[in-house]
Amino acid sequence: MPATPADLFAFLDQYGIDHRTVEHAAIFTVEEGRELKKQLPGGHTKNLFMTDKDGAIVLISAEAHSELRLNQLHKLIGTRRLSFGAPELMLEVLGVTPGSVTAFALMNDTERRVRFIADAALMACDPVNFHPLVNTATTAVSRAGFERFVGLTGHEVEIVDFIKLLAGS
């Protein structure tokens, strides 16, 4: 069974990662969450579940307002061209459904199938905010706490500067 928000909070507590959660109406897009984000300090995210034709699975957490050139990203990270992953695969690997994609879902990827990419602009923020496995709440953790969380799941935080991709670098 995939982890629940309660499981996530227990995990964070177990490892001494401070967190704060605010419940709200379901948010499916960056635009829908615009007003809420004004009330919560720190970096906010858009999260993309991507795959390539060779079966690589990539989870991207970008700062909510970053522009992403997904048609160029594969060159930088060494995959084939990326496309959005199937909802069934997302549920199988991350235990979440579209609209609830979050880096916190890495705790469900016990087989370490997912490569995690974080936006440099997001990682410059402190705290960082993600959905806690559901899109009816937002959880804030410190940047250091988030990096620790990712490491505890057996994943690495691979930081990509999406601004450089926009510039064609």
The answer to whether the CB of 51 falls within 8 A of the CB of 85 is: yes
Mean pLDDT, all residues of the chain: 90
- pLDDT(51) > 80: yes
Domains of the chain: 5-167 (3.90.960.10)
pTM attached to this predicted model: 0.91
Q: Please report which helix (H) or strand (E) contains residue 163, including its range.
A: helix 162-167
The residues facing 21 across adjacent strands are 139
Amino acid occupying residue 147: E
The answer to whether the CB of 67 falls within 8 A of the CB of 100 is: no
The answer to whether the CB of 126 falls within 8 A of the CB of 42 is: yes
- pLDDT(26) > 60: yes
Please, what sign has the CA dihedral across residues 28, 49, 104, 97?
A: positive
Return the pLDDT at 113: 97
Return the pLDDT at 142: 98
pLDDT in tens, 112-155: 999 999 999 999 999 999 999 998 999 999 999 999 999 999 99
Pairwise CA distance, residues 124 & 92, whole Å:
31
pLDDT in tens, 151-169: 999 999 999 988 876 665 4
